[in-house]
Amino acid sequence: MAAEVLGLPFEVGAASAWLVWILPFIAALIMPGIGKISKHATGYAAVGFALMSAISAVSLLPMALEAHEIHDQISWIDSIGLKAGVLADPLSIIMANVVGWISFLIMIYSTGYMKGDKSITRFWFWMLFFIGSMQLIVLSDNLLQVFFGWEGVGLASYALISFWYRDKKKDHVGTEGRTVLGLLDYYSPTHAGMKAFIMTKVGDVMMIAGMLLIFLFAGTFGFRELMHDTSWATTMSAQGLLVPAFILLFGGAVGKSAQFPLNEWLLEAMTGPTAVSALIHAATMVKAGVFLVMRLAPLVFALSAAGILADQFFEVILLVGATTALLLGLQGMVNSEIKKVLAYSTGSQIGYMMMVLGIAGLSQQFVNGYTAGFFHLISHAMFKASLFMAAGSLLHVVGSRFMTDMGGLRKNMKKTYVFMWAAGLGLMGAPFITTGFWSKDSIFGAVYTSGHEWAIPIFAIAVLTAVITAFYTTRMLGLVFYGSKSKHIQKMEEEGHHIHEASLSMWVPYGILAVLTIAIGLVGLSFEGGLHELFTDYLEDSFGIHSVHNEIENSILPEFLDGINPVALAASLSAFAIGTGLGYVFYIGRWVDPVKFVNSNIFFYAIHKVILNRFYLNAIVYWCFVVAPLWLSRGVFRYFEKTVIDYGMNNGLQKAVGWSAKVVQGTQTGVTQSYLFVFGAGLLFVVLILLI
């Protein structure tokens, strides 16, 4: 495919790979210009560029299916010998397509959702910047360049979370006046943006430390160069620095993907426009962390296969993932704001992905866990984007973020009702027809068959989380669409508001994704099989990781379910049944009143309260890292800076030369002429010195 264009070697595939991430940036840069001409045109231009970027990504797809890879480099910081480049291998190409197309649909949705906003140009600028940064992370061939995208998504999230920077009451999250451990649990958009940026920065700081450690020993940031010659790893391992370096890198992913203990920013990120939440949760930002782990995990696994052990790296990922999955899942069960429930759910599902990537590195069959993680990433991207956009429609129509202000909406918003159920079934893992089922099932399978000593407890956590997931999804659907209409809606209808379906540009995007969740779900097993095959080849070609073949013996399942572990299958079926059943009892059938149930005994009440207060983690973080440092700084400022340094040293010096001060002060007459005289004298003095 190589050809000459303008005298430069030109490869079509490489050009597409560059364009995927450059196009959104170009669009972002020209956006203010377009906005000057016509605000209306910005939407079309933004959607158009997002589409072009997605098409560039699709044009790479054939290459991915043939397990080819493009690695194209240009010179960048020559003085340090660093190159910039794109690396389009099956992993990054498929990821680029997921990001590209989901972003494109969200952009279409935004045209409806953000209609009439005064700052629409700024919105498009940051959305495109966001997409561009994410694609930069996906397609970069080295860590330093990844870090550009990495901070780019951080910056874009900061700007978009605090998009409504006027801090109006309706844009806040949390309940006004509610406190946890003496701190308000009520956040403004600008506060939330700042919180997200600083909290993810903590992760970034770790990541940069890890990057620099690796660069120090390897002399390169390049992913392929790191694989090409692994002598650096031997040296690092001998000094005991290899595992810390990779764990530090994983720290970046923990921050960006909102994993425990850096998970608290994700909730407040809900102050942004819902389209932004959808983008953050489905395509960009939180998926960046998972992607980084997917970039690094095969490398580390290949190293351990070569005798350089790094098991602790995977163990840390596994534990962080499992903790997050359960911790955030639990919190999703009690919250009354619809976007917060979805946010908790995202954190929890990302925890699943991390968990299975961790277990992959600890098992013989690396490819199983790896595929499961990626499959779940894809299916989560689809149903979560759909759910968020649908939630955005609800917010738009109802004008409240609380589910208690909704209720009984199934007749008024039929399409949203249907699509939200379809996507929700994906999240719950409804058997055999949704992508969520197959991907979750493959996670269960990978964990169960890993043979690691922690496999059983981790498997138990995974199944428990699945029960919880099914429960809170049912609860959300029940509260929104079933039962009688809330007072809020009745009041709206009395005032003459007509509760109606969202506009076309809004429901079509989430409709498409909801349908896809089911459609791919119907062929989920073969989809997974294809992915598995692709990654088997990819891991073997690029990293030399061979997959071990072991046929499942004495399978009791029919042939079309070959490759599925019966225990995992039973677990996911029962998890779905229990979770949904409980949810049905409380929220759809409404046979038991959940409020009365919780208040019925002190034990339930206490648990509910602890979970509702976010396990007090958020408050503890604030006390330790906001309140205490500010208090300390104030003390130092008052009792050291103002006294010891200012009054002590400063006045001391002044008094020591007090007499000269008096002399000089005598010259401060305020008359220009006398100053000029002094100035002239000074000049003369200088000239004299120069001439000596």
Partner 1 sequence: MEYALLQAVFLPLLLSPIAYIIGRKIGPTPAMWFTFGILLYATILIILATLSGTTEEHYPWTEQFGEFGFLLDGLASPFAIMIYVLSTILVLYSKPYMIHRFHEQYEEEQHEITSTSGNSTIIESSSLSNYVNAKSGLYFALYLVFAMGMLGTVLSTNLIEFYVFFEIMLIPGFFLVALWGAGPRRKIGLMFLLWTHAGAVVLLLGFLMIGLTIGSFDFADIQESEIPQDILMLSAIAISIGLGVKLAVFMFHIWLPWVHGSAPTPISALLSPAMIGIGAYGIFRLIVEFLPNTFADLSIWFHIWGLVTMIYGGAMALMQDDIKRLLAYSSISQMGYILFGIGSMSVLGLSGAEMMYVTHALGKGILFMMAGIIIVKVGTRNISQLGGLAGKMPITAVCAVIGALTIMGVPPTSGFMGEWTLFYGALETAIEDGSTVRAVTFGLGLVATALTMSYILWMLKRVFFGKLPEHLENVKEGSWYMTAPMMVLAGFTIVLGIYPDIFFNQIIPYMSGVIGV
Chain positions contacting partner 1, by CB under 8 A: 76-80, 144, 147-148, 151-152, 154-155, 158, 162, 165-167, 188, 190-191, 194, 197-198, 201-202, 205, 208-209, 212-213, 215-216, 239, 241, 629-630, 632-634, 636-637, 641, 645-646, 649-650, 653-654, 657, 661, 664-665, 668, 671-672, 675-676, 679, 682-683, 686, 689-690, 692
d(Cα 678, Cα 689) in Å, to the nearest integer?
Answer: 17
User: With contact defined as beta carbons under 8 Å apart, do 123 and 108 qualify?
Assistant: no
Cβ-based neighbours of 113, under 8 Å, separated by 6 or more: 273, 274, 275, 389, 392, 396, 506
Nearer to partner 1, 604 or 631 (CB): 631
Nearer to partner 1, 167 or 537 (CB): 167
Q: Smallest gap, in angstroms, from Cβ of residue 209 to partner 1? A: 6
Tokens of 308: 């350089």
Tokens of 111: 């045209």
Nearer to partner 1, 143 or 516 (CB): 143
Q: Position 284: which residue type?
A: T
Q: DSSP secondary structure string, 470-501? A: HHHHHHHHHHHHSSSPPHHHHHHHHTT----P
Q: Smallest gap, in angstroms, from Cβ of residue 289 to partner 1? A: 18
Q: Smallest gap, in angstroms, from Cβ of residue 206 to partner 1? A: 8
Nearer to partner 1, 167 or 501 (CB): 167
Q: Which of 449, 290, 262 is nearest to 363 (CA)?
A: 449
Helix (H) / strand (E) containing 11: strand 8-11
d(Cα 58, Cα 268) in Å, to the nearest integer?
Answer: 34
Q: Smallest gap, in angstroms, from Cβ of residue 670 to partner 1? A: 8
d(Cα 27, Cα 621) in Å, to the nearest integer?
Answer: 38
Q: Smallest gap, in angstroms, from Cβ of residue 293 to partner 1? A: 21
Q: Smallest gap, in angstroms, from Cβ of residue 213 to partner 1? A: 7
User: With contact defined as beta carbons under 8 Å apart, do 520 and 531 qualify?
Assistant: no
d(Cα 219, Cα 232) in Å, to the nearest integer?
Answer: 9
Q: Which of 233, 160, 219, 144 is nearest to 192 (CA)?
A: 160
Q: Smallest gap, in angstroms, from Cβ of residue 122 to partner 1? A: 9
483 half-sphere exposure, CB direction, 13 A CA radius: 24
Nearer to partner 1, 82 or 598 (CB): 82
Q: Smallest gap, in angstroms, from Cβ of residue 352 to partner 1? A: 29
Sole residue written with tokens 């700007």? 159
Q: Position 327: which residue type?
A: L
Parallel/antiparallel/unpaired status of strands 173-180 and 2-5: unpaired
At residue 557, what are phi and psi to the nearest 5 degrees? -90, 155
Collapsed DSSP state (helix, strand, coil) of residue 521: helix
Q: Smallest gap, in angstroms, from Cβ of residue 198 to partner 1? A: 6
Collapsed DSSP state (helix, strand, coil) of residue 668: coil
Nearer to partner 1, 80 or 556 (CB): 80
User: With contact defined as beta carbons under 8 Å apart, do 113 and 274 qualify?
Assistant: yes
Tokens of 8: 């430069």
Report residue 673 CA to chain centroid gap: 65
Nearer to partner 1, 432 or 685 (CB): 685
Q: Smallest gap, in angstroms, from Cβ of residue 456 to partner 1? A: 37
Q: Smallest gap, in angstroms, from Cβ of residue 129 to partner 1? A: 11
Nearer to partner 1, 126 or 538 (CB): 126
Q: How far apart are the first and last CA of the chain?
A: 73
Q: Is the peptide bond before 62 cis (omega within 30 degrees of 0)?
A: no
The CA R_g of the chain, rounded to the nearest whole Å, is 29
Tokens of 606: 């206490």
Q: DSSP secondary structure string, 254-323? A: HHHTT-TTS-THHHHGGGS-HHHHHIIIIISTHHHHHHHHHHHHHHHHHHHHTT---HHHHHHHHHHHHH
Count the neighbouring beta carbons within 10 Å of the beta carbon of residue 132.
29
d(Cα 223, Cα 312) in Å, to the nearest integer?
Answer: 21
Cβ-based neighbours of 668, under 8 Å, separated by 6 or more: none
Nearer to partner 1, 602 or 690 (CB): 690
Q: Smallest gap, in angstroms, from Cβ of residue 150 to partner 1? A: 8
Find residue 337's DSSP bridge partners. 402
Nearer to partner 1, 235 or 490 (CB): 235
Nearer to partner 1, 106 or 138 (CB): 138
Q: Smallest gap, in angstroms, from Cβ of residue 522 to partner 1? A: 43
Tokens of 139: 């397609």
Nearer to partner 1, 11 or 167 (CB): 167
Q: Smallest gap, in angstroms, from Cβ of residue 134 to partner 1? A: 15
Nearer to partner 1, 593 or 641 (CB): 641
Q: Smallest gap, in angstroms, from Cβ of residue 605 to partner 1? A: 37
Q: Smallest gap, in angstroms, from Cβ of residue 689 to partner 1? A: 6
Nearer to partner 1, 90 or 273 (CB): 273
Sole residue written with tokens 């649909």? 105
Nearer to partner 1, 11 or 151 (CB): 151
Nearer to partner 1, 239 or 601 (CB): 239
Nearer to partner 1, 76 or 615 (CB): 76
Nearer to partner 1, 32 or 451 (CB): 32
Helix (H) / strand (E) containing 421: helix 414-428
Distance set, CA 208 to CA 203, 205, 212, 216, 372 (Å): 9, 5, 6, 12, 28
| DSSP structural state of residue 658 | H
Q: Smallest gap, in angstroms, from Cβ of residue 76 to partner 1? A: 8
Angle at 164 between CA 163 and CA 165, to 5 degrees: 90
Q: Smallest gap, in angstroms, from Cβ of residue 127 to partner 1? A: 17
